[in-house]
Amino acid sequence: MIQNHLAIVKQFPAHLDAVEGRRFFRELRAELKDCYRPRVVFDLSRVEHMRAQGLDLMVRCIDEIADQDGELKFAAASPETELVLELTQISGVAESYDSVEDALESWTLPTHKAALQLEPAAVSKAA
């Protein structure tokens, strides 16, 4: 786990068993305990195959983050993992990025919507 001023970065377990899944979830709950609107990045770089246990853990984590009004982003998922997240519609609740750094930077960059809102004012000044 890496925690900086922007987000909590969690390395999603590569090989899950019941013990590892419980440990990961307990750690996440402890990290979110005193947070309001936490920003969390799941580093999926070590996940080669997303199986049912991994999907179940992912859904439980998403629910826990949502309970804190938080935001989740995925980073460095393999093409296979990305496909599983898409087919299970989990990818619809979190944006995916090529790297942890890209996911973290996405919180510091202005959103596309904000840029679009600024554009008409810039056009009217030029006229």
pLDDT of residue 88: 96
Domain map (residue ranges) of the chain = 2-126
Matching residue, tokens 């679009």: 116
Q: Is residue 97 pLDDT above 90, yes or no?
A: yes
Least confident of 48-52, 88-92, 112-116: 112-116
From the options 3.10.20.30, 3.40.718.10, 3.30.450.20, 3.30.750.24, give the CATH code of 2-126. Answer: 3.30.750.24
The pLDDT of 83-106, averaged and rounded, is 96
Q: What is the largest CA-CA distance in the chain?
A: 64
pTM (predicted TM-score): 0.81
Share of the chain above pLDDT 90, in %: 75
**DSSP3 helix / strand / coil % (the chain, rounded to 5):** 55, 15, 30
Confidence of residue 114 (pLDDT cuts 50, 70, 90): very low
CA distance 43 to 13: 9
Q: Which of 74, 57, 44 is nearest to 17 (CA)?
A: 57
Q: What does the pLDDT look like over 27-74, one tens digit per residue?
A: 999 999 988 899 999 999 999 999 999 999 999 999 999 999 999 999
**Angle, alpha carbons 20-22-24 (nearest 5°):** 70
pLDDT of residue 34: 86
Give all strands (DSSP E) within 1-127, no chain letters. 2-3, 8-11, 39-43, 71-75, 95-97
Q: Is residue 25 within 8 Å of residue 60, measured between CB atoms? A: yes
pLDDT of residue 127: 47
